[in-house]
Amino acid sequence: MRCNVPGRGMQYEKHAMTCQPENKIQVDRRWWQPVLDFILPPRCVLCGQSSGAVCICAGCWTDLPWHGPHCLRCGLPLGSVRDKICGACILNPPPFTRTVCPLLYEFPANRLVRSFKYKRQLAAGRVLSHLICEYVAVHEVPLPAMLIPVPLHKFRMLKRGFNQAYEMAAYAGRTLDIPLLANALRRRRNTPAQSGLSRKQRRKNLQGAFYWHGSVRPAKHVVLIDDVMTTGSTLTECARVLKKAGAKRVDIWVAARAVPANRGGADTAISQARHPRAQPSAL
Contacting positions for Zn ion (CB under 5 A): 44, 46-47, 57, 60, 71, 73-74, 86, 89
Nearer to Zn ion, 73 or 202 (CB): 73
Alpha helices in 66-213 (DSSP H): 87-91, 109-118, 122-138, 154-160, 164-176, 199-206
Minimum separation from the CB atom of position 93 to Zn ion (A): 9
Nearer to Zn ion, 71 or 258 (CB): 71
Nearer to Zn ion, 108 or 149 (CB): 108
Minimum separation from the CB atom of position 232 to Zn ion (A): 9
Residue burial 236-273, b: 16+ Cβ < 10 Å; e: rest = bbbbbbbbebebebbbbbbbbbbbeeebbeebbeebbe
Minimum separation from the CB atom of position 260 to Zn ion (A): 12
Nearer to Zn ion, 10 or 85 (CB): 85
Peptide bond into 108 cis (omega under 30): yes
Minimum separation from the CB atom of position 164 to Zn ion (A): 21
Minimum separation from the CB atom of position 195 to Zn ion (A): 19
Nearer to Zn ion, 93 or 276 (CB): 93
> In this structure, how many other beta carbons lie within 10 angstroms of the beta carbon of residue 136?
24
Burial class (CB in 10 A: 0-12, 13-18, 19+), 107: exposed
